[in-house]
Amino acid sequence: MTAFFDILIGGVFHAAVLFLVAAGLQLVFGVQKIVNLACGSFYALGAYFGISTVTWATAAGVPPALFLPVLLLSGLLLGVIGPVIEALLRTVYDRDEAFQLLLTFALVLMFQDVLRFFWGANPKTLGNIVMEYGKLSIGAVQVPTYNVLVILASIAIAAGIGLLLQRTRFGRILRATAENREMSQALGVNTRWMNTSVFTIGTVLGTVGGALVVPTAAASLDMPVELVVEAFAVVVIGGLGSMRGALVGALIVGLLRAAAISWYAEVEMLAIYLVVIAVLIVRPAGLHGKPIE
Amino acid sequence: MRIAAIVAALLVLLALPKYAQPYYVTLVLPAFAYAIALLGFNLLFGYTGLLSFGHALFVAVGAYAAAVLTSKLGVKSFELIVLISGLVAVVAAIPVALLSVRYVRIFFGILTLAFGMLFHSFLFKFYDITGGDTGIRVLRPSLLGQGFADLDKTAFLVGPFYYYCLALLVVLGIVMWRIVHSPFGLHLTAIRENPRKAEYLGVRVRFFRLIAFLISAFYCAVGGVILAINTGQADPELAYWTHSGELVFMTVLGGFANFFGPLIGAFTFIFLKSELMGATQYWRFWLGAILVLIVVLFPRGLVGIGQSLWAKLRRS
C-alpha cells in the first residue's frame, strides 16, 4: 500500500511538471502550428535561473521559507525571452514544417551552450531546501509538503489556462485563431500580436515548470534534450494541440514512469514509448486530438 | 560542368591520404559514412517528402550489427558485415515503416522520433545485451579477405579502409542516382508533390513510401557500420534523437532539393564541427547559429547558394 502511494504521489508530481511544459507545447502548436523542440530548453533555463534567483534572494535576506514564490516569479520573469524567440520563428511561419522543426532544433543547440556559459557543465542543485516546508503525512506515507504545493500550483495553473481559454475574450480570439487563422485575420484579429502572446505564455509555462522542479532535482545540461522526449510522449498520447490531452497524457506518462522506476527501472522510457506507439496505432490522433486529414 | 565537378571532387578525395595530415583523413571517414547515410535519408526526405526525426535509429542498428558481428560472432569480412547490417536494418525498418507511413508531415516526424528513442532506451538500459552506455567494441574487419595485420589502427583506417569506403560511396551513390531517376523515383516525387493526385493516377502511395523507407534504412545502416569501425565502438548515443537532428541538419545545410546537396552537407558539417570544436568549447552555439542562418536566409542550402552565385556570374 505504501509503495502504491509512493508511486501515486511521485507520479502525480512528475505529471504536474510535465503538464506545464506540455501545455506550453500544445498552445504553441495550436496557434502557430509549430512543434517546439526548444520547450525542453526553456524548462532547463527556468531550472538554472531558479537556482540563481533563490540563491541570490536568500543572500539578500529573503526568508528561505519564501522560496516557492521566488521560484514562480523567476519563471514568470523569463517570459521576456518569449517575444525575442517568436520574432525569430516568425520568419518561417509560411515555410515547410521541416524548416520550423529545424529552427527550433537550432535553438536547442544554442541554448545548450548558453546554459553551459552561464552555469557551467556541472549539475547544480538547491541543496535540501525542500525541507524548509517540512513533510506531510498522508495515511501511512510521508510526502514533502513542497511536492504537494507544486501539484496544487500546477492544478491552479491548469484551471487558470482553462478559464483563460474558455471564458475570456482573449481565449475566444485565441481559439478562433487556432481554428482558422485567415478567417480570424479577415475579422480583424491581430494575429501577429496573438502569436507573440501565445508563444510567450508557452515559454513561461516551460520556465515555470523548470523553476518548480529544481528544488527536488538537479539542473543539468542533459535536462533539455531529455525532457523533450517525455513532453513529446505526453502530447502524442494526449493528441497534438489539445489541452485536455496534455493533462491526460501527463498523468499517464508521470504515473507510468513512477511505476516503472519502482518496479523495473530498465523499462522506464521503453514503457512510455510503447504506450506512445500503442496509442498511435489505436488512435492515430491521440486520445483527445482532432482526427488527422 | 557537373561531371567535371564530380571528377575533381573524386580526384581530391583519392589524393587526400597522400598529402593531407592523417587527422584530416580520419575526419573524411565519418563524412563518407554520413554521405552514404544521407543518400538514403534524402530519398525519404528530399524525394518522398517525409521528414524523419528518428533515422539515427538505423545508423545505430548498423553500428551495433557491426559490433555484434565482429566482437561476438567472429565475422570479419567487411563485405559480409555491410550486407548483413544493411539487411538487419531493413528487417528492423519493416514494422517501423509499416506504422509510420500511415502518417505524413509532423506526425511522421514525431512517430519516427518515438521509435528512435525506443531503441535508444533499449540500448541504454539493457546492459547485458547491449553493453549499456559504453556499448560494444567493434573489431577491425578484413577487406576482400585481407586482414592487413601489418598496419596499425590509423594506418589501416587512412589506408585501405579509406579507399574501400570511397569506392563504396561511389557505388552506392550511382545506385541511388539510378533509383531516383527510375520510374520508381518519379513515383516518389509525384507522391511528394501531391499524394492525393498520385493516388488517383494509380500510384500505391503507402507502398512506395514503405519501399523508400526501407531503402533509406539500408543506406543509414551502411553509414553506421563505417562510423562504428572508424571509432571502434557502437554506443547508444548513435540512436539519440539529437543525432537524428544532425542528419536533418546536414541534409538541409547542403540542400535537400539537389541530389548532391546532402553529400556536400555531410562533408561541410563534419569539417565545420571539428573546426568549431577545436576553436571553442561553445561549438554547439555556433553550429546552432549557422543552422539558424541557413534555415532563415538560405533554405536551399549550400547548393542553392552556389547555384544562385553561378547564375549571377553567367549573367554578368
Highest mean pLDDT among A75-89, A171-185, B123-137: A75-89
What's the rounded mean pLDDT across residues B196-217?
85
For residue B218, with 0-12 CB atoms within 10 Å meaning exposed, 13-18 middle and 19 or more buried, which class applies? buried
Q: pLDDT tens across B298-313, in order?
A: 888 888 888 888 888 8
Q: Where is average pLDDT lowest: A65-69, A192-196, B123-127?
A: B123-127
Q: Band of the pLDDT at A291, cuts 50, 70, 90?
A: low
Task: Supply the pLDDT for residue A293.
Answer: 44
CB < 8 Å to A236, chain B:
110-111, 114
Q: How big is the A-B interface in CB pairs under 8 Å?
A: 126
Task: Supply the pLDDT for residue A31.
Answer: 83
Q: Band of the pLDDT at A1, cuts 50, 70, 90?
A: low
CB < 8 Å to B240, chain A:
225
pLDDT over threshold 90, residue A203: yes
Cα distance between residue A204 and residue B203, in whole Å = 46
Cα-trace Rg, chain A: 19
User: Which amino acid, residue A39?
Assistant: C
- Nearest CB to B291: which of A102, A274, A280? A102
Task: Supply the pLDDT for residue B38.
Answer: 93
What's the rounded mean pLDDT across residues B237-265?
88
Average pLDDT for chain B: 85
Cα distance between residue B173 and residue B211, in whole Å = 18
Q: pLDDT tens across A112-163, in order?
A: 889 889 988 888 887 777 777 777 777 777 788 888 888 898 999 889 988 8
pLDDT over threshold 60, residue B98: yes
CB contact under 8 A, B288 and A280: no
A 240-259 residues with CB below 8 A of B?
240
pLDDT over threshold 60, residue A84: yes
Asked if A81 has any chain B CB less than 8 Å from its own CB, the reply is no
CB contact under 8 A, A280 and B111: yes
Cα-trace Rg, chain B: 19
Cα distance between residue B31 and residue B307, in whole Å = 23
C-alpha neighbours within 13 Å on the C-beta side of residue B247 = 38
pLDDT over threshold 50, residue A10: yes
Give which of B44, B206, B292 to mutate to test A binding, by max A Cβ within 10 Å: B292
Which pTM was predicted?
A: 0.86
CB contact under 8 A, B285 and A110: yes
Please list the residues that pair with A124 across neighbouring strands. A219
Q: pLDDT tens across A235-286, in order?
A: 888 888 788 888 889 999 888 888 887 777 767 778 888 888 888 778 877 7
CB < 8 Å to B51, chain A:
97-98, 101
CB contact under 8 A, A108 and B114: no
Question: Which chain B residue shows the shortest CA-CA distance from A239?
Answer: B107
Question: Which chain A residue shows the shortest CA-CA distance from B284?
Answer: A109
CB contact under 8 A, B51 and A98: yes
Task: Supply the pLDDT for residue A43.
Answer: 92
Cell triple for B300: 536551399
CB contact under 8 A, A273 and B118: yes
Task: Supply the pLDDT for residue B224.
Answer: 93
Q: How far is CA B241 from the centre of its chain?
A: 14
CB contact under 8 A, A106 and B252: no
DSSP structure string for chain B: -HHHHHHHHHHHHHHHHHHS-HHHHHHHHHHHHHHHHHHHHHIIIIIT----S-THHHHHHHHHHHHIIIIIS---BHHHHHHHHHHHHHHHHHHHHHHHTT--HHHHHHHHHHHHHHHHHHHHH-HHHH-GGG-EE-PPPBBTTB--TTS-HHHHIIIIIHHHHHHHHHHHHHHHHHHHTSHHHHHHHHHHH-HHHHHHTT--HHHHHHHHHHHHHHHHHHHHHHHHHHHTEE-GGGGSHHHHHHHHHHHHHH-TTSTTHHHHHHHHHHHHHHHHHHH-TTHHHHHHHHHHHHHHH-TTHHHHHHHHHHHHHHH-
Q: Band of the pLDDT at B204, cuts 50, 70, 90?
A: confident
Question: Could you tell me the sign of the dihedral formed by the alpha carbons of B218, A97, A273, A107, in that order?
Answer: positive
CB contact under 8 A, A284 and B102: yes
CB A133 within 8 A of CB A144: yes
What's the rounded mean pLDDT across residues A196-219?
89
Cell triple for A271: 514503457
